[in-house]
A and B are shown apart, each in its own frame.
Chain A
């Protein structure tokens, strides 16, 4: 009996049932895939950290290293569990060739380091997450280059200078827990020890990683203080365990967060549709329900039949969504698998996506129960008196014709209808709002991280190109380049900046190192979260992560040692930074000459100067200084993230279009059924099909445009906050969307408008059969 009733109901409401099914199915699928991605990522990351035995504290250093000094510090310090000094040979990209392509041709901003496998921890793993072993003449290439340069096993990597050439065969790829993420601008190639020694003799310069594993990772801050107050090597940034975690998780973290976000929006749409269909069904049966109530039938029974239908459908859709997620999970976790590898999951982790789906199911059912409470409110008398529940009260005097100069009567009728029956259009309005949100937020987000302006959030001033000089080069070279640039007629403006290390008195009164960039910060602008760039000698601007760590904000003061003198600096501003581990500062003070970390020059050219040409010219003249254009800098740093966000954005647009088609047609089917008699009357007094089409297109487009406008507002307000939260753990706490007005305010709305118009015209095709003769004249 029940099966027969379901069957009859499904056949009667095919489109509606199918639509609801698809929405619950899609939200289950996405929530399962999104949560699976997160569990997979956490699990794989933990496995990768365990297998590679990640260090807890790493100091990069270029300069001399006194091994005995470090050993002594480590043995004396009971926080240290293990330590090692890793030798890295840095080889300039001009000297490396992948296959036949010179690494420098692709203008890489990455530093290429050659290392051997480590002996006690920080193991470099291959794609099976096993420790890499390479024989003489073999090389393991970082995954970043494998993807970027399309390298496969057996390819050649050649190192050559004028008087030295060495050829390697690629036998493995490096999964490097420290340097996997593209945000880290250093990459490690693994070679055999003998080959490394040969390289050391002939080419490149040595840099060091001083790595420590601690007995307790929670003591990291204490250890950092101890390390920095001891006179240990410090020419270079420090990176630590939490940052490794954050940086490894960023790309997939962003994408999985976005997926779950969309799945939540889809669930909301599913619930709205359920509400709409239940209310429509109740309305259809309104009189019958009233009659039943009047003759004393228990409504609980009828309610149960309603509810059962939705339970069966929601269960079916959730199960299907979960099953399909099992089949497509590998598409979502491809990047995770590649960069972090796979690891067996325990039962609980496997259960999480399932539980998420169960949650969606339960929520749907409870929501149905909530909506069905309306049954109790139906009054027998009212139900018998009124044909449908929405006819109780309305004001028909909105936009009266004779007081309106609006010339097109059909458009006017459409607009009036939205105004008079706005409650009915509520579903459509909310769905359109969500759809425009689903489209606009990813489009703006993508546009933002692709924009050269995004660099401002990364602690890098916006300029046409930047020139980086290694700290190991002499400062003469720096001076030389400055002279050259100042004599170049093509240059509009330029700003040399020197980063050097100073001592700072931290909150606990201990001395700590701080990297401070010195120079003129008024030439190229940087986005400040609060305050502004330093303009006086005693002012300093600090990065967001530093301000968190020191618990200081604008107006507070910091104690610095400058030339051995303790000086008080006032914080003029806080900016966002993801370079050098996100802990930097900027001041006008002269650089600390004994402890310079790097030199940097930002250059802007005059309007009609070819930037690529200038890059080629400068790369040649200023060799070995590294010349990059900012677009390339963003692309290489965020290339992979941008690619994934782009894929996601395209999917989001497709999903939104699909939703708007589905909901518009579902809604119109219901609406014209409801309006049958009114349409027949219009036809009888001389309205043509075209006139009625114009009315309906006006209605849906009217609702759509309100939806888009509000959706855009919500996207700009809320979307920006969502993006900021996603990016905050990298040190960029406050993102302002860089909006491309043509895309955001023209193309995206246009796509939706076109879709909805076509769907409307196609969905109301059946009105040509509407005739007054069928409604009982």
Chain B
């Protein structure tokens, strides 16, 4: 399989006061293959989210390089990065981050209208299809304050998918949801992954991580461990097994 995203010697540090520097990411090497479902775990402050934002070009790296489809993206202009995010990437956040002055439907189609790759009719058809699939079609004209957290995260996933991206980045996408909603969201993400979309998630939830196929463990800005699982299948026995294996491994990692 082809490598879709690669970090080489990726470091990120923040200035603390006048002289001190705080190193958040230390010389990270990472490869993600096309179609993979990867998850980053680790304790708070280990640098999981920072890795996600730096590897996705959302934040500026301090040193090293990031290749997306074999193309160096760390030196791209703001404009090119915007285009990359618009056409190639999708993002899902813990706090959902929808635009509050748009109704749910417009939140979903906004970036497709912006990308302007397809006719507006096609975009609308895709959006309706996605919403129906996610079970939020009847909320289309609602204000974002008129939906539950789980529903809003489905909206955010629809938004992330509308331009048919190569990769989806998720920063604790289930972090603010109850366990039923979280489980539903993970089912949806797995369905998407099975259709070929690469997914990179950050989470501290074992149940979430257990539904991915490769788990990276971060500590103090470095990747200190890796666990591979098979592709997730929708069988309750399988789920329990995966969670068990992962828990043991995580205990070994001192999680």
- A-side residues, CB < 8 A to B, are 391, 394, 396-397, 400-402, 409, 416-417, 420-421, 677-678, 680-691, 768, 771-773, 775-777
**What 0/1 readout, one digit per residue, does chain B (207-250) give for beta carbons within 8 Å of chain A?**
00000000000000000000000000000000000000000000
**Could you give 29 example pairs across A and B, Cβ below 8 Å?**
A396-B102, A396-B103, A396-B143, A400-B103, A400-B106, A401-B106, A401-B110, A402-B105, A402-B106, A409-B113, A678-B99, A681-B97, A684-B91, A684-B93, A685-B85, A685-B91, A685-B111, A685-B159, A686-B89, A686-B111, A687-B86, A689-B78, A689-B79, A772-B53, A772-B91, A773-B58, A773-B59, A777-B53, A777-B97
- Known contacts being A402-B124, A678-B99, is A684 close to B58, with CB within 8 Å? yes
- Known contacts being A396-B103, A685-B111, A773-B59, is A690 close to B79, with CB within 8 Å? yes
A567 CB, min distance to chain B CBs, angstroms: 77
Contact B97 A677 (CB under 8 A): yes
Q: A-side binding surface: helix, strand, loop or mixed?
A: helix
- Known contacts being A402-B109, A685-B110, A773-B58, is A394 close to B143, with CB within 8 Å? yes
**Which of B50, B171, B172 has the most A CB atoms < 10 Å from its CB?**
B171
Q: Which 4 residue pairs are nearest across A and B when measured between Cβ atoms?
A: A686-B86, A688-B82, A686-B85, A777-B93
In the complex, given contacts A688-B78, A777-B95, what are 4 additional A-B residue pairs having Cβ atoms less than 8 angstroms apart? A400-B141, A681-B98, A687-B86, A777-B94
**What 0/1 readout, one digit per residue, does chain B (172-201) give for beta carbons within 8 Å of chain A?**
100000000000000000000000000000
Q: Which residues in chain B, 146-180, are within 8 Å of chain A measured between CB atoms? A: 159, 171-172
B20 at the interface (CB under 8 A from A): no
B230 CB, min distance to chain A CBs, angstroms: 30
Contact B59 A417 (CB under 8 A): no
Contact B103 A682 (CB under 8 A): no
Residues of B within 8 A of A772 (CB): 53, 58, 91, 93, 97
Residues of A within 8 A of B89 (CB): 686
- Known contacts being A684-B85, A771-B58, A772-B93, is A421 close to B106, with CB within 8 Å? no
How long is the Cα–Cα vector from A16 to B101 in the complex, in angstroms?
27
How long is the Cα–Cα vector from A65 to B79 in the complex, in angstroms?
91
How long is the Cα–Cα vector from A684 to B91 in the complex, in angstroms?
8
B24 CB, min distance to chain A CBs, angstroms: 11
B30 at the interface (CB under 8 A from A): no
Contact A420 B114 (CB under 8 A): no
Q: Which chain A residue shows the least CB distance to B144? A: A396
Which listed residue, B53, B102, B114, touches A686 by the CB 8 Å rule?
B114
Contact B49 A777 (CB under 8 A): yes
How long is the Cα–Cα vector from A397 to B50 in the complex, in angstroms?
36
Contact A686 B58 (CB under 8 A): no
Which listed residue, A391, A397, A681, touches B99 by the CB 8 Å rule?
A681
A776 CB, min distance to chain B CBs, angstroms: 6
**What 0/1 readout, one digit per residue, does chain B (63-102) give for beta carbons within 8 Å of chain A?**
0000000000000001100111111010101110111111
How long is the Cα–Cα vector from A686 to B91 in the complex, in angstroms?
10
Residues of B within 8 A of A775 (CB): 97
B3 at the interface (CB under 8 A from A): no
B206 at the interface (CB under 8 A from A): no
How long is the Cα–Cα vector from A777 to B91 in the complex, in angstroms?
10
Residues of B within 8 A of A691 (CB): 82, 114
How long is the Cα–Cα vector from A596 to B190 in the complex, in angstroms?
107
Contact A409 B82 (CB under 8 A): no
**Which of B50, B58, B83 has the most A CB atoms < 10 Å from its CB?**
B58
Residues of A within 8 A of B143 (CB): 394, 396
A526 CB, min distance to chain B CBs, angstroms: 58
Which listed residue, A396, A402, A416, A768, touches B78 by the CB 8 Å rule?
A768
How long is the Cα–Cα vector from A444 to B24 in the complex, in angstroms?
64
How long is the Cα–Cα vector from A322 to B91 in the complex, in angstroms?
58
How long is the Cα–Cα vector from A681 to B95 in the complex, in angstroms?
11
- Known contacts being A394-B143, A417-B101, A684-B91, is A401 close to B83, with CB within 8 Å? no
B45 CB, min distance to chain A CBs, angstroms: 14
Residues of A within 8 A of B120 (CB): 402
Q: Which chain B residue shows the least CB distance to A416? A: B101
How long is the Cα–Cα vector from A396 to B102 in the complex, in angstroms?
5
Q: Which residues in chain B, 111-126, are within 8 Å of chain A measured between CB atoms? A: 111, 113-115, 120, 124
Q: Which chain A residue shows the least CB distance to B128? A: A402
Which listed residue, B82, B86, B113, touches A401 by the CB 8 Å rule?
B113
**Which of B89, B97, B105 has the most A CB atoms < 10 Å from its CB?**
B97
A394 CB, min distance to chain B CBs, angstroms: 7
How long is the Cα–Cα vector from A681 to B98 in the complex, in angstroms?
7
- Known contacts being A397-B103, A401-B113, A773-B58, is A688 close to B93, with CB within 8 Å? no
Residues of A within 8 A of B79 (CB): 688-690
Residues of B within 8 A of A421 (CB): 101
Which listed residue, B97, B100, B124, B172, touches A684 by the CB 8 Å rule?
B97
A397 CB, min distance to chain B CBs, angstroms: 6
- Known contacts being A401-B113, A772-B93, is A396 close to B101, with CB within 8 Å? yes
How long is the Cα–Cα vector from A691 to B78 in the complex, in angstroms?
12
Q: Which chain B residue shows the least CB distance to A774? A: B59
B185 CB, min distance to chain A CBs, angstroms: 16
Residues of B within 8 A of A416 (CB): 101-102
**Which of A396, A397, A677, A773 has the most B CB atoms < 10 Å from its CB?**
A396
A75 CB, min distance to chain B CBs, angstroms: 88
How long is the Cα–Cα vector from A421 to B99 in the complex, in angstroms?
14
How long is the Cα–Cα vector from A417 to B106 in the complex, in angstroms?
13
Residues of B within 8 A of A681 (CB): 97-99
How long is the Cα–Cα vector from A687 to B106 in the complex, in angstroms?
15
How long is the Cα–Cα vector from A110 to B183 in the complex, in angstroms?
96
Q: Which chain B residue shows the least CB distance to A392? A: B145
How long is the Cα–Cα vector from A356 to B98 in the complex, in angstroms?
52
Residues of B within 8 A of A689 (CB): 78-79, 82
- Known contacts being A689-B79, A772-B58, A777-B94, is A397 close to B110, with CB within 8 Å? no
Q: Which chain B residue shows the least CB distance to A685? A: B111
Q: Which chain A residue shows the least CB distance to B78? A: A689
Q: Which chain B residue shows the least CB distance to A682? A: B99
How long is the Cα–Cα vector from A689 to B79 in the complex, in angstroms?
7
B77 CB, min distance to chain A CBs, angstroms: 9
Residues of A within 8 A of B100 (CB): 391, 396, 678
B221 CB, min distance to chain A CBs, angstroms: 16
Residues of A within 8 A of B85 (CB): 684-686
Residues of B within 8 A of A773 (CB): 49-50, 53, 58-59
Residues of B within 8 A of A401 (CB): 105-106, 109-110, 113
B201 CB, min distance to chain A CBs, angstroms: 13
How long is the Cα–Cα vector from A420 to B106 in the complex, in angstroms?
14
Contact A688 B58 (CB under 8 A): no
Residues of B within 8 A of A391 (CB): 100
Residues of A within 8 A of B97 (CB): 677, 680-681, 684, 772, 775, 777
Residues of A within 8 A of B159 (CB): 685
Residues of A within 8 A of B82 (CB): 683, 686-689, 691
How long is the Cα–Cα vector from A777 to B173 in the complex, in angstroms?
10
How long is the Cα–Cα vector from A668 to B59 in the complex, in angstroms?
25
How long is the Cα–Cα vector from A19 to B246 in the complex, in angstroms?
60
How long is the Cα–Cα vector from A401 to B116 in the complex, in angstroms?
13
A681 CB, min distance to chain B CBs, angstroms: 5
A283 CB, min distance to chain B CBs, angstroms: 15
B31 CB, min distance to chain A CBs, angstroms: 23
Residues of B within 8 A of A685 (CB): 85-86, 91, 110-111, 114, 159
How long is the Cα–Cα vector from A678 to B99 in the complex, in angstroms?
6
Residues of A within 8 A of B98 (CB): 681
Residues of A within 8 A of B95 (CB): 776-777
Q: Which chain A residue shows the least CB distance to B116? A: A409
How long is the Cα–Cα vector from A417 to B101 in the complex, in angstroms?
7
How long is the Cα–Cα vector from A144 to B110 in the complex, in angstroms?
69
How long is the Cα–Cα vector from A680 to B114 in the complex, in angstroms?
16
